[in-house]
Amino acid sequence: MKTIRLPQAIALYIGAVLGAGILLVPGLAAQVAGPASLIDWGLLMILVLPLALCMAYLSQKYPHSGGVSYFVTEAFGHRTGQVIGWFFLMSVPIGAPVTAITGAAYLSTALRLPDSITIALAGLVLLLAVLINYRGMQIAGKVQVAVIAMILIILTATLAGALPHVRVSHFQPFMPNGPWSIGYASTLLFWCFIGWEAITNYSTEFVNPEKDVHRATIISALILGILYFMTAFVIVGTGSYHVQGQAALVIVSEQVFGRGGAIIIGAAALLICLATVIAYIGSAARMACAMAKEGAAPRWLNKQSEKYQTPTGGLLFLAACFLIVMTAYSSGLISLTKLIQLPNATFLLNYMGGCAAGLILFRKEKKKFLISLVALLATLFMFFFVGSAILYPLIICVFIAGQRMVHSLRKKSY
């Protein structure tokens, strides 16, 4: 059902890309590189465009609920596309709970709530996001627009109120940790701009994909770039990152609004994470449905709601995964740090697959080819920093190989 128009598309892009990064990364990057981290933010505002445009061009030319997996299939064949599809599908069951826990923790810290309430809030965010996606994009799109509007109002008010507290002295020394610190800080910043690939799975639901995919990408990239840069500028200019790196924006908000400022940012954090979770759950559920149709995943994942025409099979799969992950986290079997690390490599490999597909599919279109090349080089550079997170996609590959072996043996037995 085609229900996504330009406002909903912009809200989906911002929701998918914004995430909790705006609350965490500007302060951490400033601790690494000092005021010189602003150079990174300026450069990344430029670099993020090829990445976003590559995904937008692919969505325009090859609209499909399989998203990046479908693009890779078109470029490199079914088997490679299947692997990329599983990488994305198995990233969300971990990434969504991590995002929900992060948002819940911010609000709990602001209100001084116990850990048990944090876990309950995170579970509520996941449940709400699943239910919203079950009702379909007509509802989810409206909710996303409202949530993003509230987030932008809160962040804009906080940043505007903080400008009088900016001091020139806080920008000196400009490069306290040397030029190499700028390069290291850039690896942190990149994670703030992951999310463009998630909306490719919605491409078949755009009312006017030829115009709106490209326009929504440009508009949301500009909004996100300005928002991130201004947040970093204010955090550096007020010196708040010296007090608290991971929650520097909370310090800024307290300076502007007093005690209520922390609560405002806590509420904004929960809304930001809700918007991200809504976008990714919808995307992964559509991916599961598309893979099941092609025989790359169990058939029951293709189940759809007769009333809302939504991918209930994928949503039920994700809900079950969320229950397992949240149970493991709440019982202390796995830490938040470990959970954060697991999907990093799979998300990045998904991007790399999409950008590489762009090189093949746009080889006769010079502009799009060059944009895909720049995006691929950027993701290749980042892949060198994934570390032990590479184990998770390797495990997924072993699972896929096992699945293919079982399928081959069954064919022989018949």
Alpha carbons 51 and 196: distance in angstroms, whole number:
8
pLDDT of 327:
96
* Residue 156 pLDDT greater than 60, yes or no: yes
| pLDDT one-digit tens code per residue, 249-300 | 777 877 778 878 878 888 888 888 898 899 899 999 999 999 998 888 888 9
Tokens of 273: 């994470």
More confident residue, 42 or 312: 312
DSSP string, 191-249: GGGTTGGGGGGGGGGBSSHHHHHHHHHHHHHHHHHHHHHHHHHHHHHTTGGGT-STTHH
Nearest to 41 by CA among 59, 60, 22: 22
**Would you call 314 helix, strand, or coil by DSSP?**
helix
The angle, 0 to 180 degrees and rounded to 10, between the axes of the packed helices 21-33 and 209-237 is 50
Alpha carbons 317 and 300: distance in angstroms, whole number:
9
| pLDDT one-digit tens code per residue, 198-253 | 788 787 888 888 788 889 988 998 898 888 899 899 989 988 877 655 567 777 87
| pLDDT one-digit tens code per residue, 54-86 | 998 998 889 888 889 999 999 999 999 999 999
At 214, the amino acid letter reads H
| pLDDT one-digit tens code per residue, 316-369 | 999 999 999 999 999 999 887 778 778 878 988 998 999 999 999 999 999 999
- Cα 88 to its chain centre, rounded Å, is 11
- Region label for 79, one of left (φ > 0), alpha (ψ between -120 and 50) or beta (otherwise): alpha
pLDDT of 354:
94
Quick one: three-class SS letters along 56-113?
HHHHHHCCCCCCHHHHHHHHHCHHHHHHHHHHHHCCHHHHHHHHHHHHHHHHHHHHCC
Average pLDDT, the chain: 86
Alpha carbons 85 and 293: distance in angstroms, whole number:
13
Would you say 213 and 203 are in contact if contact means Cβ atoms under 8 Å apart? yes
Domain range annotation of the chain: 6-341
Which stretch of DSSP H or E encloses residue 250? helix 248-257
Alpha carbons 189 and 48: distance in angstroms, whole number:
11
pLDDT classification of 187: cutoffs 50, 70, 90: low
* Residue 93 pLDDT greater than 90, yes or no: yes
Q: Tell me what the mean pLDDT of segment 130-155 comes to.
A: 86
Q: What percent of the chain lies above the pLDDT cut of 70?
A: 96
Residues 6+ apart with CB under 8 A from 329: 97, 101, 119, 335, 336, 339
* Residue 136 pLDDT greater than 90, yes or no: no
* Residue 127 pLDDT greater than 90, yes or no: yes
Instruction: Read off the pTM.
Output: 0.83
Beta partners for residue 206, in sequence order? 4
| Location of structure tokens 């991918």 | 311
pLDDT of 190:
65
pLDDT of 181:
81
pLDDT classification of 117: cutoffs 50, 70, 90: very high
CATH of 6-341, one of 1.20.1740.10, 1.10.760.10, 1.20.1260.10, 3.30.1330.10: 1.20.1740.10
Alpha carbons 119 and 97: distance in angstroms, whole number:
10
